[in-house]
């Protein structure tokens, strides 16, 4: 796979905002003018089952899915989903999980996805302001304040 491409895998359970998080990241890359592909599966898998979504951005992205052992970042929203997905991580890949968060610091557990995007934003080469704009564009206005707070809380977490 091309070394000019960053590979991120999001994983969780249906209803946790996995696809929303991957949409936000994909929109950020798109708004930054670089190549981007995002893979996800709809339908049966969303009935309370495991959900994952791959985002690849950089230069000349081909496959929309991240190959096993090639993910630079694995972002997991539900502890149970680490094991089924960790094989996607590269040797030097980073695992970012919900365990890093103190959920009591979030206004709602529904902000976990955006908080973890905050953690991820410390590592990836995308402009934080563009990322924040994408978060707002993907969420209803009444949710902006709590999600901005969640994002900034995520940013404050150091791995």
The yes or no reply on residue 146 touching other proteins (CB under 8 A) is: no
The yes or no reply on residue 140 touching other proteins (CB under 8 A) is: no
Compute the residue count for the chain. Answer: 159
Closest CA to 110 of 10, 13, 16, 19: 16
Q: Are 29 and 121 in contact (CB under 8 A)?
A: no
Query: Which segment (55-63, 103-111, 119-127, 141-149) binds other proteins by CB under 8 A?
Result: 55-63
Out of 20, 38, 72, 132, the only residue in the binding site for other proteins (CB under 8 A) is 38
CA distance 101 to 92: 22
The yes or no reply on residue 26 touching other proteins (CB under 8 A) is: yes
CA distance 91 to 31: 30
Query: Which segment (19-27, 89-97, 108-116, 138-146) binds other proteins by CB under 8 A?
Result: 19-27
Closest CA to 66 of 23, 126, 2: 2
Query: Which segment (63-71, 98-106, 107-115, 117-125) binds other proteins by CB under 8 A?
Result: 63-71
Q: Smallest distance from the beta carbon of 54 to other proteins, in angstroms?
A: 9
Q: Within 51-127, where are the H helices? A: 82-85, 112-121
Size of the site for other proteins (CB under 8 A): 39
Nearer to other proteins, 72 or 153 (CB): 72
| Number of CB atoms found within 10 A of residue 21's CB | 26
Chain positions contacting other proteins, by CB under 8 A = 1-2, 13-14, 23, 26-27, 30, 35-50, 52, 61-65, 67-68, 70, 80-81, 83-85, 87
């Amino acid at each position: 796979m091309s070394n000019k491409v960053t590979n991120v895998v999001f994983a969780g359970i249906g209803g946790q905002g996995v696809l929303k998080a991957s949409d936000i990241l994909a929109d950020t890359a798109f708004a930054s003018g670089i190549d981007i592909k995002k893979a996800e599966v709809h339908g049966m898998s969303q009935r309370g089952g495991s959900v994952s979504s791959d985002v690849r951005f950089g230069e000349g992205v081909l496959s929309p899915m991240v190959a096993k052992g090639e993910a630079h970042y694995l972002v997991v929203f539900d502890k149970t989903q680490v094991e089924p997905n960790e094989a996607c991580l590269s040797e030097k890949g980073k695992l970012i999980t919900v365990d890093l968060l103190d959920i009591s610091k979030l206004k709602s557990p529904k902000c976990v996805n955006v908080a973890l995007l905050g953690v991820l934003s410390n590592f990836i080469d995308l402009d934080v302001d563009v990322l924040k704009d994408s978060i707002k564009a993907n969420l209803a206005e009444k949710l902006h304040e709590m999600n901005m707070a969640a994002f900034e809380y995520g940013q404050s977490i150091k791995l």
